[in-house]
Amino acid sequence: MKYKLMVTDIDDTLLTSDKRITDRVKESLLKAQDCGVKLAIASGRLPIGVKPYYDALGIRERGGYYLAFNGGLILDSEDKVVHGTVLERKYLDSIYHALRPFDVTVLAHQHDKIFTDNNQNSYAYTEPEALHLPLNIVDNLLDYVDWDLHKILIAGEPEILREVEPFLKEQFGEELDIFFSAPFFLDVMPRGVNKGAGVRYIAEKLGVGMDEVIACGDSGNDISMVEAAGLGVAMKNGEADLRAVADYVTEHDCDHDGIAEVVEKFILS
């Protein structure tokens, strides 16, 4: 099979655990693109958190795409939004009030800013620190946010979020998609908006069949694209639910060039 599109998640997939792209991974992805394979990045991050890696891998010059907010926004090589879906503002109120019994933090995004009214939970700082952005603390999140969102992010202790996930799915599961993007993050998305749908959109734009797509990830928010791709790849360090649905699990983890392993085995060999 000749693959024509490769899609990779960022954290703990493309990047090492200390947030680096290794030389071997970068070299392999540049070679893959030079062989004609299009490269896309799919992340739960907001766009400003994806662009540095998009630029570092030469995707901009080679006409690739990137997905932010788990596919809530899809941007082309000129940073133009080619597809976007928003979560109606009313759901922020509903989710916020439903979570009052739980010790979690609700975060909202706008452009390159992250907002909350509860910074007592240390996990609230995980995304801002990774993106080198401030966490904007407001008096009342519901009063402050007057825009539709691409996603709602819930941060908290993993054992608490494992209780929150089924609780929210029971109430909102027919209207919203709710899934883990990390053990300490739950993402709330519009129904049907996920990385898998985003990858299908990009493949169609490129005229590529889904059987010609490789998708690589490590977390629950990667399941949809790993299942949709012709070759769905889970990192060795990936979560058990993702490894269970993958076509291939890497022999090496994200700290030992797992993505390079995939490129060398399935594209460059």
pLDDT at 227 over 70: yes
Arch. (CATH architecture) of 5-84+193-266: 3-Layer(aba) Sandwich (3.40)
Spatial separation of the C-alpha atoms in residues 74 and 17, rounded to whole Å: 25
* pLDDT of 1 over the 80 cut: no
Letter string b/e over residues 46-77, b meaning 16 or more CB atoms within 10 A of that residue's CB = bbebbbebbeebebbeeebbbbbbbbbbbbbe
Check residue 120 and give its pLDDT. 83
Across the beta sheet with 135-137, what order do the strands follow? Answer: 135-137, 113-116, 105-110, 152-155, 185-190, 176-182
pLDDT (mean) for 96-114: 95
Instruction: Annotate 110-126 with b (16+ C-beta within 10 A) or e (fewer).
Output: eeeebbbbeeebebbbb
Per-residue pLDDT at 35: 94
What is the pLDDT averaged over residues 68-92? 94
pLDDT at 119 over 90: no
Domain coordinates in residue numbering, the chain: 5-84+193-266, 90-190
The pLDDT score that the predictor gives to residue 108 is 97
Only one residue has tokens 């010609």, namely 212
**Tens of pLDDT along 191-211?**
999 999 999 999 999 999 999
Contact between 188 and 99 (Cβ < 8 Å): no
What band does 111 get if pLDDT is binned at 50, 70 and 90?
confident
| CATH number of 90-190, picked from 3.40.50.720, 3.40.50.12640, 3.30.1240.10, 3.80.30.20 | 3.30.1240.10
Mean pLDDT rounded to a whole number for the chain = 96
User: CA-CA distance, 173 to 176, in Å (whole number)?
Assistant: 5
Of 6, 4, 9, residue with least CA distance to 242? 9
Phi, psi (deg, nearest 5) at residue 137: -95, 120
